Amino acid sequence: MVHRSSVLLSARALVVGTAADCDVVVEHRDVAPHHACVWARGRRVYVASLGGKDTRLDGCRVHSSQQASSGAVLELGDAPALRLVATEASPQGRRFMVTYGTTPYPWVKLEHTATGAVHSVRSAPAIGVAWLLAHQLERDTRRLLPPDDRGWIDNEELEPFLTPTVGDWLIHDECPVEACIHHLWRDLAIRGLPPGLVVFRPGRTRLDASRVGLRVPKPLS
């Protein structure tokens, strides 16, 4: 836990909030227990909302995720501002691997190849979304689509795979898929993985094909 006005960032995601298990603890009435997560890629800093209200990066409101140059200012309501500083230039290329399968039940694993940080997605409703995203990325890779076009799935196609419990996750005016992605981002950040591996846009979502490689297990004989 750290209490400071400047936060030094690397590829490892840090969770910001009031909870004791956060990496950056900000004790203020406007800050949620797990408010947002922050990380760096090269000289850019990234912020993903984990459900906290009134999150701003260099004055721009963060609805889902936002990026800015190193040194950008993060504001959480009226709490003291945090300056986000990238400390290293991240190497280009796929530094993360996704593995997925169906034996003995659907599962997805995201791994940072350099640090060994791992997040295994096994529970509903996130597992349905994560598995479909991994499967779509594999299909588009085999079809040799351009990297920018790989892995996208319309959010309407993901909604049927969410269980009713996702309704308990809804915050503000989020759609069910966005609520699920917010919690997936939080779980990734808690395990030191950048939430930006899962890219959410209005209308569609994907795994970031420019950073994530596939490792598909061979089927059991």
Q: In this structure, are residues 78 and 70 in contact, taking their beta carbons and an 8 Å threshold? A: no
Question: Can you tell me the distance from the alpha carbon of 179 to that of 62, in angstroms, rounded to the nearest whole number?
Answer: 15
What are the boundaries of each domain within the chain?
6-86, 96-214
pLDDT in tens, 112-156: 877 778 888 877 778 888 999 999 988 888 787 877 888 999 998
pLDDT in tens, 39-90: 888 888 999 988 888 999 999 999 888 899 999 999 999 998 999 988 764 4
| Residue that has been written with the tokens 């200012």 in this structure | 73
Nearest one of 177, 209, 215 to 196, comparing CA atoms: 209
Q: Which CATH architecture has domain 6-86?
A: Sandwich (2.60)
